[in-house]
Amino acid sequence: MHRTSLAALVLSAGALAACETAQPQAPTLPVGPGFQVSTIAWADSEATTRIAYALRDNGGRTELCGAIASEGSAAVTTLEPQILNNTRLASGETEIAPGLAYFTRTGSVAEGTPATCVVTEVPWNDAWAETPPQIEVKLEEFSL
């Protein structure tokens, strides 16, 4: 008969948990002077949603960093995932990001707020430093 003590099981479980690989943390960039801010004013309330974003060259590819914050209504805050999934970043016909779901959801997009970054497959365009791509909301109505 093989006996295993509770202490041995707990130690084994702890050792297995320690061996699990941690998910890599997405890189962030603090919101600062190089960021653009797009504001959505909600027709039915005093609430606003602000999306801060910045682009930079990362080895010839476009890196996009962003954060979102809503003020004035808790209901609008709950819409942030829908807003990000239905918002794109584009420059003319060039779509840089078809959705922005990875953007940091935060209470503010003030300077210093961490913005999540992702390197896209889109080649970097030096013109974007002078004329940044624009946020485009694909829906006109959102529902709770």
Domain of 33?
25-137
Residue 17 has pLDDT above 70, yes or no: no
Query: Based on the structure, what is the number of domains in the chain?
Result: 1
In a domain, 15, yes or no: no
Cα separation, 86 vs 92, whole angstroms: 18
Q: What is the predicted pLDDT for the residue at 29?
A: 95
On whether residue 68 sits in a domain, the answer given is yes
Per-residue pLDDT at 1 exceeds 50? no
DSSP assignment letter at 93: T
- pLDDT category at 11 given cuts 50, 70, 90 is very low
93 assigned to some structural domain: yes
Q: Is the pTM of this model over 0.85?
A: no
Q: Does residue 108 form part of some domain? A: yes
The answer to whether residue 3 sits within a structural domain is: no
Mean pLDDT, rounded, for 36-44 = 86
Q: Which residues of 37-50 are buried (b: 16+ CB within 10 A; e: fewer)?
A: ebebebeeeebebb
Decide: 83 and 40 in contact? Cβ < 8 Å: yes
In a domain, residue 2? The reply is no
Between 77 and 24, the higher pLDDT residue = 77
Domain assignment present for residue 143? The answer is no
